[in-house]
Amino acid sequence: MIEIKNLVKHYGQVRAVNDISFTVNQGEILGFLGPNGAGKSTTMNILTGFLSATAGTVKINGFDILEQPQKAKACIGYLPENPPLYLDMTVLEYLRFVCDLKGVPREERAKQLAEIMRLVRITDVANRLTKNLSKGYRQRVGIAQALVGNPEVLVLDEPTIGLDPKQIIEIRNLVRDLGRKHTVILSSHILPEVSAVCDRIIIINKGVIAAVDTPDNLSRKFSKTTRLQVAVEGPLKDVVTHLRHVPGVRTAELLMEKEGGVNVLIVESENDIDVRKPVFFEMARSSYAILEMRPLDLSLEEVFLQVTGNAPTGKGEK
């Protein structure tokens, strides 16, 4: 669906994007991440036709964004970080205006807009001025304009920025639903959100692709240990001693104490060594009851920091 080959972008003497290549498959939700200055926004602007590349090619559904810009852009719906809204229009007036810009046939507009507004849940504010809407509803209107014309590809840049937790969950669920019928590229600094909705993740750093894989595979690939959270009923000192004698266990550290003599510990083992059974049998031999045992994967934020060495939050060129 999306094919990027040997993409390069110079700003004077600065090479912002350095010979990157990747594909996005049809129906895939791809997380596109990078620290400030990594070349992420530049890549997205080239992908959507807002910037031209110094070298390389970008194809959307087989159409070259440089040589066939109209056909390529017709396949893309774009939500920039700041939605391009006209605040003195009502929601419906604005979406009709977007239909004009995208050349949606007049006989199809009413049905298409009714379906889009239903999907993003803005039907109840269709006749309200956009400037009177909350931040959450403005984001929904921004997503609605990206959906006008039924594009096959959606590019969403920070769709939940500035929203409260309830609104973030609602937009996250909406993105997941959109992924059933569209190919989605999602850029966000809220890494748990990316991990929750994306099928695959690309991390770009200093203009090159530093990592690409599924969230689970990235967690395993960059983890030097395997971690378990274990809740055991028994004396802390004895439990820790027994756990540290289990073959493959590196450390056993207390996370918290609970009522009834229950201790919650983080148990780390050597990478690729599954110590769950040995831990179970060791605790059983010692007559200490395991009340909970679950794996703790490396979070996407921890992977991001390992790959880039930068904090995953902030503003500016991404």
Q: Tens digits of per-residue pLDDT, 181-199?
A: 899 999 988 888 898 899 9
**CATH 3.40.50.10190: does it fit domain 224-296?**
no
The reported pTM is: 0.79
Tell me what the mean pLDDT of segment 155-162 comes to. Answer: 87
Q: Given the DSSP bridges, would you call strands 63-64 and 208-213 parallel, antiparallel or unpaired?
A: unpaired
Q: Kindly report, residue by residue over 252-306, the tens digit of the pLDDT.
A: 999 999 999 999 999 999 877 889 999 999 999 999 999 999 888 788 888 999 8
Query: In sequence order, what are the residues at sequence separation of 6 or more whose Cβ sits closer than 8 angstroms to the Cβ of residue 254?
Result: 236, 240, 263, 264, 265
Residues recorded for the chain: 318
Which residues sit opposite 253 in a β-bridge?
A: 266
- How many angstroms separate the Cα of 318 from the Cα of each of 90, 214, 247? 32, 21, 44
The fold for domain 2-220 equals Rossmann fold (3.40.50)
Please say whether the beta carbons of 161 and 81 come within 8 A: yes
CA distance 217 to 222: 9
Which helix or strand (DSSP H or E) is residue 270 part of? strand 262-270
pLDDT value at residue 254: 95
Mean pLDDT for all residues in the chain = 90
Q: Where are the domains positioned within the chain? A: 2-220, 224-296
CA distance 48 to 75: 10
Please say whether the beta carbons of 94 and 86 come within 8 A: yes
